[in-house]
Amino acid sequence: MNQQHPSIDQLVDYTHGELSAREDADVHSHLAACAECAEAHDVETRVGELLRRHAREEEHELPPGLTTAIYARASSERVAAPWWSWQWLTAIPRSTIAVPVVAAIVVVMYAAMGGWHGTPKNDAVDAAAYLQNHVALASTMPFEESAAAPAMLASGESP
């Protein structure tokens, strides 16, 4: 460190005692040997003292008893929790919440499992209609120009 001058940040940290023991010893020995750095350290120390003095002079006092009244009121008053908070929910007796919540869960599960849907509809397709259409299509050549459409497919009625 004696070869290199400390930075302003290091001097400020040295002044406030924020350097490690090794860095603090290096800066201290450098300040003892270097007049230029010692002068910079003195300037930084004076600036800090001026700022602290100015802050003390500009500081305004609170009215007497205000801080005591604030602390007393804060410790005596209980702040009401908002209605959506967990504290509010735990303040209500559990049975007044538990019964409707359980009932709602049961209703939702019953509806989700198909309890209100009744018996399933029979949407079965008549297999005979498929077989008749297949036979009608198989009896013709669909890509032949002279082939007529089967009667089953040409009219909507079955024979």
The whole-model pTM stands at: 0.36
Flag whether 49 is in a domain: yes
Flag whether 21 is in a domain: yes
Flag whether 33 is in a domain: yes
- The C-alpha angle with vertex 81 and arms to 76 and 84, in degrees rounded to 5, equals 175
Give me the pLDDT at residue 129, please. 76
pLDDT tens-place string over residues 57-103: 887 777 788 888 888 887 776 666 665 666 666 666 666 777 788 88
Percent of the chain with pLDDT over 70: 65
Flag whether 23 is in a domain: yes
**Residue 152 near residue 133 (C-beta atoms within 8 A):** yes
Flag whether 32 is in a domain: yes
Please give the residue range of the domain that contains residue 18: 8-58
User: What ranges in 17-143 are assigned the alpha helix state H?
Assistant: 21-33, 35-58, 66-76, 86-91, 94-112, 127-138
Flag whether 107 is in a domain: no
Residue 151 has pLDDT above 60, yes or no: no
User: Average of pLDDT values for 101-122?
Assistant: 75
Flag whether 68 is in a domain: no
Residue 153 is inside which H or E element, if any? helix 151-154
Q: How many CB atoms lie within 10 A of CB 30?
A: 21
Residue 2 has pLDDT above 50, yes or no: no
Flag whether 119 is in a domain: no
For the chain, what is the domain count? 1
